[in-house]
Amino acid sequence: MEPIILSAKEGLALTSGTTSPTGIGALALYDMLNAAKTADIIGAMALEVLKGTTRAFDDRLMSVRPHPDQRDTAANIRKILSDSAIAKEHVDHRLQDALSLRAIPQLHGAAKKTLKDAKTTVEIEMNACSDNPILWPDGDGAISGSNCDASYIGIEMDSACIAATAIAKMSERRNNRLINGRLSEYPPFLVGKAGLNSGLMIPQYSQAGLLNDMKILSHPATVDSVPTCADQEDYVSMGYNAAKKAKDIARKLEYILAIELLSVHNAYQFMEEDLAPGSASATVVERMKKDIPVMTEDAYLYPYLETLRSLIHSGDVAAAAEEQTGELL
């Protein structure tokens, strides 16, 4: 790309308007939306290996609480597990699962609604004039106002941070159920000879640290204000800070999902051999197997987590599942 040569007023427009928070926020939001779809896939796979019941995703349940994103999320889970022998075998395994499994439509749906609302706002802002003053070619000259205020972007980014952190906190709890032998009915930490091997114990520590960071970053920037310019700018939107922390949160969410996906990947080895996973799950697992072996004893995990985070960030995990399901909502 060639650098843009700025004309009169354009330099000020870039620094004075909402260009920076909008640009940063758009990139963060793109990653959050992709991660939210991937969270549906990983959540469905966790439900599968934890022998959860798909009854909680029945469309009749969704129809009486008709939030569109909740209903669409439940449809995603049903679609991903529609041909799963594991899911069919365990539909009556227990009356109801823990909330981190059965409430996927409710929490993921609420988070996705928030992210989609933010997308609408960002798209408007990307196609808007946020300069001040704005010059008019019809002879009126300059009109001063405050289109440069970043509250629209800031409030949406603060909300997006909360939504992404909500998805992350559910992912961490599902991962805990996977590695906790008392809850999963699998060997502790999803490795043989637990005790001699610590298996996937430590990645959950990393999730705890990442999630704590995300909770701190979810404190809204836009509720704060520090006056500047001798009190001429006596209120400040703080939209730039909201967008900056959204970028950090999006990245941390990808890592938290990567850790859960690593646990899911290893859990399949303990499933009964005569029960096949759904085709979407199987396709995701086959994609992972290209780079990540199933762990039978302790291994250096950092490269695997980096690979999984990259597969989530690039959309490869979502694309692998959608090869079987068609587009997920």
What pLDDT tens digit does each residue of the chain (329 aa) get? 998 888 888 888 888 889 999 999 999 999 999 999 999 999 999 999 999 999 999 999 999 999 999 999 999 999 999 999 999 999 999 999 999 999 999 999 999 999 999 999 999 999 999 988 888 887 778 889 999 999 999 999 999 999 999 999 999 999 999 999 999 999 999 998 877 889 999 999 999 999 999 999 999 999 998 888 888 888 899 999 999 999 999 999 999 999 999 999 999 999 888 899 999 999 999 999 999 998 888 999 999 999 999 999 999 999 999 999 999 99
Q: 239 in a domain, yes or no?
A: yes
Q: How many residues can be counted in the chain?
A: 329
Cβ partners under 8 Å of residue 40, min gap 6 = 73, 76, 77, 80, 104, 108, 328
Q: Hey, what are 197's tokens?
A: 């091997």
Number of domains in the chain: 1
Q: 135 in a domain, yes or no?
A: yes
- CB contact at 8 A, 117 and 24: no
Residue type, 61: L
CATH number at residue 179: 1.20.200.10
Q: 288 in a domain, yes or no?
A: yes
Position of tokens 């959309």? 315
- CB contact at 8 A, 278 and 248: no
Give the structural domain span for 43: 13-325
Q: 273 in a domain, yes or no?
A: yes
Q: 167 in a domain, yes or no?
A: yes
Q: 5 in a domain, yes or no?
A: no
Alpha helices in the chain (DSSP H): 10-16, 19-49, 59-63, 68-80, 85-89, 99-102, 104-126, 151-179, 181-184, 201-217, 239-267, 279-289, 302-314, 316-325
Q: 2 in a domain, yes or no?
A: no
Q: 74 in a domain, yes or no?
A: yes
- For residue 293, whether the previous peptide bond is cis, meaning omega lies within 30 degrees of 0, is no
CA dist 67 → 72, 109, 159, 229, 328 (Å): 9, 8, 18, 45, 17
CA nearest neighbour of 55 among 23, 94, 29: 94
